[in-house]
Amino acid sequence: MRASAAQKVRPRKRPARTAGSRAAILRAAGHIFAEKGLEGARTEAIAGAAGVNKALLYYYFKSKDELYLAILEGHMKEFFERASRVFSSTTEPAGSALLQYVSMHFDFMSERPDYPRLIQRFMMARGRRFERLARKYFLPVSIKFQGLIERGIQSGELHASDSAHTAMSLVALTVFYFAAAPTLRVLGHTDPYGKVELARRKKEVLEFIRRALFINPEAYLK
């Protein structure tokens, strides 16, 4: 007996999906992109590390580029939300809010070992999609942070300075430590992400800022 046309045409099998598949892909891809960059990363390696079928990557993300941008935006959106919470208070003294922001930034980076390398690559990238993310998430934070520094200068809490350059210098105190972690591990023969080393570095950063910028640093000791 001959099979009917309907029996001959079989539906294409869809890749199995679970609630955690997308999250697993993002975690695995984040690590591989941090190690290899966008060009060096292979979708086969990402799928294997995530424990999923390669087709599932393209179910959730249209391309490797879209996956890469999704990872970056996930980090940047979370940072934006945390920063916004710090900046939301209008009654908090500027000096206290500044130290809270730096502390938040440090904790954010310490929780994400892949993030420093991802963001380094992002900073050197070009193109409208990268500019869109920078304008959407980093620009508002930068404006608010500079405004916070200016408010501290006006209130007499901080020494007079160029707020844009001061903001860059403060960001660098945290970013450099994590960006240089592999080299620091070799030079210091210790783990920069170890609990003791993280606590020590964070304390030194906040102390340096108080001594360098604050007119009355003792007023902000906890």
The whole-number average pLDDT for the span 175-188 is 91
CB of 205 closer than 8 Å to CB of 173: yes
Distance between CA atoms of residues 36 and 62, nearest Å: 20
Q: Where in the chain is the domain with CATH 1.10.357.10?
A: 63-220
Task: Report the predicted TM-score, pTM, of the whole model to 2 decimal places.
Answer: 0.85
pLDDT (tens digit, 9 = 90+) per residue, 82-110? 999 999 987 889 999 999 999 999 999 99
pLDDT computed for residue 106 by the predictor:
97
Give strand pairing partners of 158: 214
Contact between 116 and 98 (Cβ < 8 Å): no
30-82 residue pLDDT tens: 999 998 888 888 999 999 999 998 888 889 998 988 999 999 999 999 999 99
pLDDT of residue 19: 59
- CATH 1.10.10.60 residue ranges of the chain are 17-61
How many Cβ atoms from other residues are within 10 Å of residue 215's Cβ?
A: 14
Spatial neighbors of 50 by CB under 8 A, at least 6 apart, are: 21, 24, 25, 27, 28, 29
Question: What's domain 17-61's superfamily in CATH?
Answer: Homeodomain-like (1.10.10.60)
63-220 placed in CATH 3.40.50.2000: no
Average of per-residue pLDDT values in the chain: 88
CA-wise closest residue to 213 among 109, 107, 94 = 94
